[in-house]
């Protein structure tokens, strides 16, 4: 095998296409390092865009207003395997971007009141209510005591019924940032999920 950079008739093999090909090959380790080793802020949006571009079945649910763990939220009327799969895929795909679970965070989750599986998920994923334990919800209130919850739940159900929303496609993801535990979340960007054919 010849290592000569001279081609036929004495021409150099280092033309523009060949040079660009070698530069692309040499850039692969640098790009991998940027995504996986360095915490650059552009890595989050790039990971979201890559996740959204993967074809998948788009979950469609019938939304209802209900009480969940003392809160009032919009929830699916019944379980959806597609939605649970999407939620699990999100947890797995974005785990590298979450903050590490501190001993204080773990204690705050009251591990003694969790099931063994929830404790495993807390230690593995940083949150006990993921995978099979996840319940999709869009929170409408803070935690309410029983006396206040029932009249507010009735009022919100009436209001929600006027919208006439019979089906809700979970067809996008969004990236939020919270600067500290006391600040509000702010949306940075969102991406439409690609539907499988």
What is the tens place of the pLDDT at every residue in 91-117? 998 888 888 888 888 888 888 898 999
Based on DSSP, count helices (H) and strands (E) in the chain, helices before strands: 6, 7
* pLDDT, tens digit, 9 for 90 and up, residues 21-34: 777 777 777 666 55
* DSSP alpha helix (H) spans, the chain: 16-36, 43-53, 81-94, 103-108, 116-125, 146-163
* pLDDT, tens digit, 9 for 90 and up, residues 166-197: 998 999 988 888 888 788 888 888 999 999 87
Tokens found for residue 81 = 């395997």
Q: Say what the pLDDT of residue 46 is.
A: 82
User: 10 Å Cβ neighbour count for 171?
Assistant: 15
Taking alpha carbons only, the member of 59, 64, 117 closest to residue 85 is 59
pTM: 0.70
**Largest pairwise CA distance in the chain:** 91
The whole-angstrom separation of Cα 81 and Cα 50 is 22
> Distance between alpha carbon 175 and the CA centroid of its chain, in Å?
8
């Amino acid at each position: 095998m010849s290592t000569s950079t001279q081609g036929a008739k004495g021409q150099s093999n280092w033309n523009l296409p060949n040079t660009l090909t070698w530069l692309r090959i040499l850039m692969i380790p640098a790009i991998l390092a940027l995504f996986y080793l360095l915490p650059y802020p552009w890595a989050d949006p790039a990971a979201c865009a890559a996740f959204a571009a993967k074809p998948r079945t788009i979950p469609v649910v019938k939304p209802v207003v209900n009480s969940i763990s003392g809160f009032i939220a919009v929830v699916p009327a019944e379980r959806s395997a597609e939605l649970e799969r999407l939620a699990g895929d999100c947890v797995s795909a974005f785990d590298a971007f979450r903050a590490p679970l501190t001993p204080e965070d773990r204690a705050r989750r009251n591990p003694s009141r969790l099931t063994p599986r929830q404790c495993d998920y807390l230690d593995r994923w940083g949150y006990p209510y993921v995978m099979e334990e996840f319940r999709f919800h869009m929170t409408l209130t803070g935690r309410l005591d029983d006396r206040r919850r029932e009249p507010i739940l009735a009022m919100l159900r009436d209001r929600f019924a006027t919208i006439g929303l019979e089906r809700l496609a979970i067809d996008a993801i969004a990236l939020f940032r919270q600067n500290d535990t006391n600040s509000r979340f702010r949306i940075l960007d969102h991406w439409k999920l690609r539907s499988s054919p």
